[in-house]
Structure 1
């Protein structure tokens, strides 16, 4: 049930955004008993807009934060850490990964990975083992990052044009979409990059991927000329076209996020944010108040990444690495849950795993 104070705060924020010539510099995460907020990355403005989807088509931007990144835009991939009250995002112009501490007061933004990336489009956070996964379309690689130290390990190589990724640390799987037309695939592996499995090859022009944690389904968008949103169970069953455009402004879906009974997506050609119930509904909500600069003014307003900040998406669960990071000096990456131990220690690029299988060193063992 919607609480009155949220409505009052939304109204207050909306009025302030109209009256004041600048954006708020704070972000308040929803409580455990509240519904999700939707964050949208404005690629051109390098800004994050937050709105409450329960307000329907009249929803307004209740929080807007200017982000670090490239001049003239670049923000694209986005995920969050609910327990740590943080947002992560990537920037295609600077080719860096950033974080924002969101505690409702003064925010703290910083670079957590600088350099060494080509086109970091996808981002997914393992909230149980504190690992951040980044997919790089240009380098055809997937990296895992320690968001606290910035340490980086190349996890997967030769993943042709990998577009987007998702993780489920409760089940131990990493999911990704890659390729284009004849080479396009939806795949998964364990969180250490092992045990790779093709989920579906019935995919043509994939752009964005989102995991429905409740129903254990994957949703993805396929852009022009396919213009579809599809879903499939994580084990490869029940492939479904969940949305087919019926109006001209629904063409070319781009970013997508799923939360509870709804999915939300961005239209690449008209730069609109839309939402729809997952099941048994064709009614589409268009969030018009996010379209600040008019339909055709794409020099100022290009939506790219979209994220449901939903407490239910990051439920607490025991770490497979235990309380001591599995004894690993650097990365502890979950593997098959039934294996002993159910994880592998791994090292940042440029370091080597010693004979004890837990310690990383610059030394080269003979």
Structure 2
């Protein structure tokens, strides 16, 4: 087991670039997205800072075009930038909706989102530029946490924390199948990933990483890693998770960023302008907003001496600038405080509430309360003797001391089940603090 990064404050989202051996994660408290090379663990870099992100809760990588996508929970936006953080672009703002996770299919030009609308969770499929969104899964779904794509079988997988279920469907939401729905194995699934014939997931209540056959749910097994604090997202470091795909943006004429689009549209890609720019036959800087303050000041000082005009003008401008920075600071403080107060951690899924008290909403987000670590669980933990292949697993977890052994998952006894169901509020808070 290798620790990729530690002393993280509120790490939630996780993705990686398999070929470049680079891991990306979000930090909600510091309001940023960081990265590190798996070959040089001292190379931690901030990809996007609090100037570009507020509450980045989910990540996905378009490895074909080197684009990093993220969901901002507070802003209700889906955004994209190059993986080095350059040219951040807001693709979509979801009015009246809460977005939880994002997954991408670069060759087909699809972007999948889990979102809540009018207290009803659903899965949406959009173009990768954020347009043409359709609801594809609305039935047999209660609280989808994260998404994963099976690129070889063209299937979408998701974990449902409320139904304690892992399901899959075609990309249009049809042909839904339940992979696994046994409480002994699914006490509270959160992160999910697909690798070849298996589905891997994290369980925030069992504090484990588990796997089973993606079609039958059989041969369910787990890492014996006792993480102690609930594991969050999971990514598989294996070539099959990011296969070679056709690049529809190859030799594109775009000035800044080319986004692949689905078949059947006007074209197979779209050129987009980064934030602060507008499309006018190309990307040009957006005009700045002007006010009537200057003309008002000029009118007020007419008839005074030139020296008095300059003195008053400079004084007024200085006061306005000072007030502007004070207002920005107050707004920033209020937004950060509102975000912290809106998160109420009362169970393993860390409910999000609409008040400062105990009133609970069905919109929940997974946010660890304390420092987190990005663990790379060593190959020995998930060796498959039948295929003789090594699979590495990257998981964001809380503070803990994983052990390097692996064994089949045993059936839980009635006493175990009762014990898990009887976890009180104080017990859960001890687990995540």
1:172 aligned onto 2:109: yes
1:206 corresponds to which residue?
A: 144
Q: Deviations over 1:219-251 (max 9, x none)?
A: 111113x2111111112211112111242x631
Aligned pairs for 1:190-269 (under 5 A) are 190-202=127-139, 203-224=141-162, 226-247=163-184, 250-269=186-205
Equivalent residue for 2:253, pick from 320, 324, 327: 327
5+ unaligned residues in a row in structure 2: which ranges? 289-433
In the TM superposition, residue 161 of structure 1 has moved relative to its aligned partner by 1.4
1:274 aligned onto 2:227: no
What TM-score, normalized to structure 1? 0.72
In the TM superposition, residue 277 of structure 1 has moved relative to its aligned partner by 0.9
What TM-score, normalized to structure 2? 0.62
2:80 corresponds to which residue?
A: 144
Aligned partners of 1:253, 1:149: CA distance in 2, in Å? 31
Equivalent residue for 1:361, pick from 282, 285, 290: 285
More helix by share: 2
5+ unaligned residues in a row in structure 1: which ranges? 1-60, 294-300
Aligned pairs for 1:20-31 (under 5 A) are none
2:120 corresponds to which residue?
A: 183
In the TM superposition, residue 173 of structure 1 has moved relative to its aligned partner by 0.6
1:291 corresponds to which residue?
A: 226
Aligned partners of 1:183, 1:105: CA distance in 2, in Å? 43
1:113 aligned onto 2:48: yes
Aligned partners of 2:46, 2:75: CA distance in 1, in Å? 20
Q: Say which structure, 1 or 2, has more relative contact order (CA 8 Å, 6+ apart).
A: 2
The structure having more radius of gyration, on CA atoms, is 2
Look up the SS of the partner of 1:161 in the other structure. Answer: strand
CA RMSD of the aligned region, Å?
A: 2.2
Residues 86, 262 of structure 1: CA spacing in aligned structure 2 closer, same or farther, 3 A cutoff?
A: same
For the 8 Å contact 2:203–2:230, the answer to whether it is kept is: no
Q: Deviations over 1:58-112 (max 9, x none)?
A: xxx2x22224743xxx22211111232211111122121111123x345411011
2:263 corresponds to which residue?
A: 337
Aligned partners of 1:278, 1:337: CA distance in 2, in Å? 28
For the 8 Å contact 1:69–1:93, the answer to whether it is kept is: no
For the 8 Å contact 1:180–1:205, the answer to whether it is kept is: no
1:93 aligned onto 2:17: no
Query: How many residues align structurally?
Result: 286
